[in-house]
Structure 1
Amino acid sequence: MITGATAGIGAAFARRLAQDGCRLVLVARDEQRLAESAAELSDRYGATVTVLPADLSTDEGCAAVEEQLREPVDLLVNNAGISLNRSFLRSTVADETRLLRLNVHAVMRLTLAVLPGMVDRRHGAVINVSSVAGFGALMPGSTYPASKAWVTNFSESMAQSVRRYGVRVMALCPGYTRTEFHDRAGINMSKTPGWMWLRADDVVRDALRDLGKGKIVSVPDWKYKVAVFGMRHTPGGLLRAVGRKGRGRLGREER
């Protein structure tokens, strides 16, 4: 099962897993795009694809996906997520609540829905798509990094709790990735250097490789591995100074 499956990293997961012969359940809000994606994957790869329209920022949407997860699932990819193009001081309760419900609450609910069955079967994996942004407060005023810090820490904790049962949980933490994500959020990325961008297909390739190796946190591409190492080991005061000088755009990358 892949959430946020019609674009960006979610669509790249769908293509790769369809190519590998997996049966897919695709989740997204847009029913028409889901149908188009399913038809394309079926035509190109001969994949068996089930679509599930659901808005995971709502209780009803989460409940519909939880119901589907009662069926055995070998891999859950929690990819759906959003960012906002404004700081917290200029935001609204409604927008911040939607961000938290999609980036945090839905990840928690779907992971809780799928893990008990995987533990009982002694088999299965969860990939939670997080972000390089979660490793440091380099986007002053944005709550996006805080939500992704939760996803990464949550995934690390869950991974340790279920590993002994043969179940894997991994946080995927990409940097800037070429998707619809920024356009949807109204974020202007035109000044971001080309060398900083990743391809969604490459992110997925690295993620599945790292999952197979048993990694708990996957950071695709050497330049972002270096960035994460710096954010994890740089003194907090220096890191905050860098964040103040920068434009605070690092990490609004995925989807």
Structure 2
Amino acid sequence: MPTALITGATAGIGAAFARRLAADGFSLVLVARDEARLAESADALKLRYGVTADVLPADLATDEGLARVEARLREGVDLLVNNAGFGHPDAFLSVPVEDEVRMLKVHCEAVLRLTLAALPGMRVRGRGGVINVASVAAFFTRGTYSASKAWVVNFSESTAAEITEPRVRVMALCPGFVRTEFHDRASMDISGVPGFLWLDADAVAREAMRDLALGKWTSIPDPRYKAIVSVGRLIPRRLAAKISASLRQA
């Protein structure tokens, strides 16, 4: 039975991946900060899908938390989903520097370290996958959030390009606005986001797994967001920045 480790596994896209992979017969290792919520999620998945679901409480903004997850990954997994992340409600110049550094720790250092912990075993076995959850914000300018997600995309594509084993894959997942706890937890005002831009977390996870199987380096779920990203690449970056500033982070 294959094993998947998912960070940020108790809500939103992470929880959707847990459901998708459990339905596909994966054993799960669920990572998040809240141990009680982790246990609740694991129990629900075991009951519904009959799979093994282990919990690994860890704060990925700390070296101790990262080391705990790295150690588990070195034991071997078949799929790593780097999903943990968060946003800020304010613009870059209004956010305390320690909060920005914490974001970089979770969005960049954690993705780097956990990917490097998982890949050697996958390459030896000749199979495995890493999905690094980024955002369509990676293709626009929106403070440290979009900058960190742009790093995730570039890092994932660069790593994928270096892997020679055909059944070992690394992919950046770039969803748009998804109905999760993300924006509420960041105290973001999302009242101005048009209804047609919202995506379903389960659909995002489903499309991500399909794109990983196809060997894509970057996955942008939903034709609407594929079009938005394509247009964004054609217009001047200053104009794109003005447009993205009218919306909150995706």
Q: TM-score range by the shorter chain?
A: over 0.9
Give the aligned partner of residue 145 of structure 2.
144
Give the aligned partner of residue 193 of structure 2.
192
1:161 aligns with 2:153: no
Compute the displacement of 1:246 (Å).
5.0
Contact 2:84 2:107 in 1 (8 A): yes
Greater RCO, CA 8 A, separation 6+: 1
CA–CA separation in structure 2 for the residues paired with 1:86 and 1:95? 11
- For normalisation by structure 1, the TM-score amounts to 0.93
1:240 aligns with 2:241: no
Compute the displacement of 1:191 (Å).
1.8
Contact 2:123 2:165 in 1 (8 A): no
Give the aligned partner of residue 212 of structure 2.
211
Give the aligned partner of residue 75 of structure 2.
71
Give the aligned partner of residue 116 of structure 2.
112
1:12 aligns with 2:16: yes
Compute the displacement of 1:89 (Å).
1.2
Give the aligned partner of residue 99 of structure 2.
95
RMSD in angstroms over aligned alpha carbons? 1.2
| Paired residue type of 1:231 | G
| Unmatched tracts of structure 1, length 5 or more | none
Contact 2:173 2:218 in 1 (8 A): yes
Matched residue SS, 1:143: helix
Give the aligned partner of residue 173 of structure 2.
172
| Deviates further, 27-36 or 184-193 | 184-193
Give the aligned partner of residue 86 of structure 1.
90
Counterpart of 2:37 (choices 33, 49, 64) is: 33
Compute the displacement of 1:122 (Å).
1.1
CA–CA separation in structure 2 for the residues paired with 1:165 and 1:193? 40
1:34-74: CA deviation from partner (whole Å, max 9, x where unpaired):
00000000011111000000000100000000111121100
Compute the displacement of 1:114 (Å).
0.7
Contact 1:118 1:167 in 2 (8 A): yes
1:183-208: CA deviation from partner (whole Å, max 9, x where unpaired):
01110101211111000000001000
Matched residue SS, 1:115: helix
| Paired residue type of 1:64 | R
- For normalisation by structure 2, the TM-score amounts to 0.95
Q: How many equivalent pairs are there?
A: 246
Contact 1:119 1:165 in 2 (8 A): no
| Unmatched tracts of structure 2, length 5 or more | none
CA–CA separation in structure 1 for the residues paired with 2:28 and 2:138? 29
Contact 2:140 2:244 in 1 (8 A): no
Compute the displacement of 1:166 (Å).
2.8
Using the aligned pairs only, state the percent identity. 59
Name the CA shift for 1:182/1:204 in 2 (closer, same or farther; >3 Å). Answer: same
